[in-house]
Amino acid sequence: MKIPNKIKPKDVERILISVFVIALAGCGSKKEIVHPEFQSITESVYASGVVKSRNQYQVFAPTPGVIGKIYITEGDLVKRGQPIVQVNNRATQLSKDNSEIAAKFNALQNNEDKLTELRYNIEVAKEKNEVDSLLYVRQQNLWQQNVGSKVELEQKELNARNSKANYENAILRYGQLKKQLDFSASQSQKTLEIISSQANDLIVKSEVTGKVFSVLKRQGEMVTSLTPIAILGESNNFYLELQVDEYDIAKISVNQKVMITMDSYRGRVFEGLISKVYPMMNERSKTFTLEAVFTKGPEKIYPNLTVEANIVITTKEKALLIPRNCLLEGDYVIMENGEKRKVEIGLMDYQKAEILKGLNENDAIIKPLP
C-alpha cells in the first residue's frame, strides 16, 4: 500500500468534516440544532485610531537655545500670533548686535565725507582742466603767429590732456565709490534684517487660534529645533484619525457611516462619517489612514483619546441569517442528518452570515460545539 507524499489542504478539510460528522453522530443529544432566521444585518469594516484636534501641531524652537520664558499653560485659549515661549540664544543675539554695528558703519550718511572729498577733487580737476585747455588754445594762437617754440606748444597740449584725464578719473572714482558705499549699506541692512528676523523667531508664536493641550518643557530647559515644546490645536473642532487594513480599503468611500466606541465612554456608541481617505498605504503597518468627523459625538472630547470604529459598508433589513461559525470551508454547512451542503453567502458581520442560496428558514443545520 502506497502512502501519498503530500496531503492537500482540501483533503485535510474533508477529513476533518468527516471526523466532525462522526463525532456528532456519537454525541447524540449533545449536538445543537440551528434554524436560519430572517433578521437585519450590517456589513462593516473595523478600524482603530485616535481623536485629533483640527490643525493640531507640535511647537518647535527655530534654533537651539534655553527656554527663557513660557507664556502659556495647559488649557489656555490662544489666538493666532500670540507669543507662546521665548527661547534665549546668545549667539543669535550677538550676531544681531554685530549686524547693527555693521549697518550703522556702512550707512550712506556715515560715509558722506568720503563722497564730499571726491566731489571736491572733481571740482579742482575740472578747474585745472579748464585752465590748461585755455593755455593750450592761447599757445596754438601764438604758434600760428610764429610766436613761441614747438616745445612750448607740445607742453601746453600735454598739460591739457593730463588735466582732462585727471578730471575724468575723478568723476569715475566718485561713481565707483558711490556704488561701493550703496552696495555695502544695502548688504549690511539686509544682513541686519535677516539676523533680526532670526532673533524675532526666538519668540515662538501660535500658528492657530485654539487651545493649549500640553506644555512639554519648562523654563530653563535646553531645547533644539527637533525638541517639541507644546501641543496646540483648535479647541472645538475634532476629528478621528483611523487606520484600516489594506484588505478592506477598496470597500471604503467618503460619507460612509461610522459607529464609534471609546474607552472613555464605555457602553455608548457614537456616530460619524468618513470625510477623507488617504491614498497612500503605510508599508510598515499595511494600513491606510482615514479621517472621520462626528455627527453624534460625546459632550466632552480630548485629543489622543483612543477609539474603535465600525465603518458601515451596507445594511440589509431582511436577510436569511445563520451563525457565522456554522460555516465550514467558507461556504458549506452540515445538515441535521449529517449531509454536507454547499450554500451561497451574502453579507457577513462578526457573528452572522447571510444565506442567498442553499437553505430556507425551515432547514435545520448543526452548530459546531465550542
End-to-end CA distance of the chain: 37
Burial class (CB within 10 angstroms; exposed 0-12, middle 13-18, buried 19+) of 279: exposed
Domain assignment present for residue 2? The answer is: no
pLDDT at 79: 93
The last residue of one of the domains, among 291, 314, 337, is 314
Res. 242: pLDDT tops 90: yes
> Please, which pLDDT band fits residue 167 given cuts at 50, 70 and 90?
confident
Flag the least confident range among 134-148, 244-258, 334-348: 134-148
Whole-angstrom distance, CA of residue 163 vs CA of residue 131:
9
Question: Do 228 and 245 sit in the same domain of this protein?
Answer: no
Interval 84-142: pLDDT, tens = 888 876 665 656 666 667 667 666 667 777 878 888 888 888 888 888 888 888 888 88
CA dihedral 114, 118, 124, 130 (to 10 degrees): -170
Question: Do 194 and 94 sit in the same domain of this protein?
Answer: yes
Domain assignment present for residue 137? The answer is: yes
The CATH number covering residue 77 comes to: 2.40.50.100
- Return the DSSP state at 12: H
Res. 18: pLDDT tops 80: no
Question: Do 255 and 339 sit in the same domain of this protein?
Answer: no
Three-state DSSP class for residue 294: strand
Question: Do 239 and 307 sit in the same domain of this protein?
Answer: yes
Q: Could you tell me the sign of the dihedral formed by the alpha carbons of 160, 164, 165, 167, in that order?
A: positive
pTM, two decimal places: 0.55
Domain assignment present for residue 177? The answer is: yes
Domain assignment present for residue 117? The answer is: yes
Domain assignment present for residue 1? The answer is: no
The last residue of one of the domains, among 217, 233, 249, is 233
Average pLDDT, the chain: 82
What is the DSSP pairing of strand 222-223 with strand 228-233?
A: unpaired
Cα distances from 213 to residues 68, 76, 235, in angstroms, run 21, 8, 9
Whole-angstrom distance, CA of residue 125 vs CA of residue 117:
12
* Buried/exposed code over 185-206 (b: 16+ C-beta within 10 A; e: otherwise): beebeebbeebbebbeebebbb
Could you identify the residue written with the cell 565709490?
177
Three-state DSSP class for residue 278: coil
Question: Do 357 and 296 sit in the same domain of this protein?
Answer: no
Question: Do 189 and 287 sit in the same domain of this protein?
Answer: no
Domain assignment present for residue 343? The answer is: yes
Is the CB of residue 222 less than 8 Å from the CB of residue 270? Answer: no
Number of domains the chain contains: 4
Q: Is 148 left (phi over 0), alpha (psi -120 to 50) or beta?
A: left
- The beta-carbon contacts of 120-125 under 8 Å, at least 24 apart in sequence, are 121/170, 121/173, 121/174, 122/167, 122/170, 122/171, 122/174, 124/170, 125/163, 125/166, 125/167, 125/169, 125/170
Report the pLDDT averaged over residues 167-182. Answer: 85
The last residue of one of the domains, among 201, 222, 245, is 201
Question: Do 226 and 289 sit in the same domain of this protein?
Answer: no
Question: Do 62 and 128 sit in the same domain of this protein?
Answer: no
Question: Do 147 and 196 sit in the same domain of this protein?
Answer: yes
The CATH number covering residue 51 comes to: 2.40.30.170
Domain assignment present for residue 212? The answer is: yes
Question: Do 151 and 178 sit in the same domain of this protein?
Answer: yes
Q: Could you tell me the sign of the dihedral formed by the alpha carbons of 312, 313, 318, 323, in that order?
A: negative
Report the pLDDT averaged over residues 132-158. Answer: 84
Task: Beginning with the edge strand found earlier in the chain, give each strand of the sheet holding 203-205 in spatial order.
Answer: 203-205, 83-88, 65-70, 222-223
Question: Do 356 and 213 sit in the same domain of this protein?
Answer: no
Question: Do 166 and 299 sit in the same domain of this protein?
Answer: no
* Buried/exposed code over 38-66 (b: 16+ C-beta within 10 A; e: otherwise): eeebbbbbebebebbbeebeebebbeebe
Report the pLDDT averaged over residues 320-331. Answer: 86
Looking at mean pLDDT, say which of 35-44, 123-132, 191-200, 287-296 comes out highest: 287-296
> Please, which pLDDT band fits residue 201 given cuts at 50, 70 and 90?
low
Range of the domain at 290: 47-55+234-314
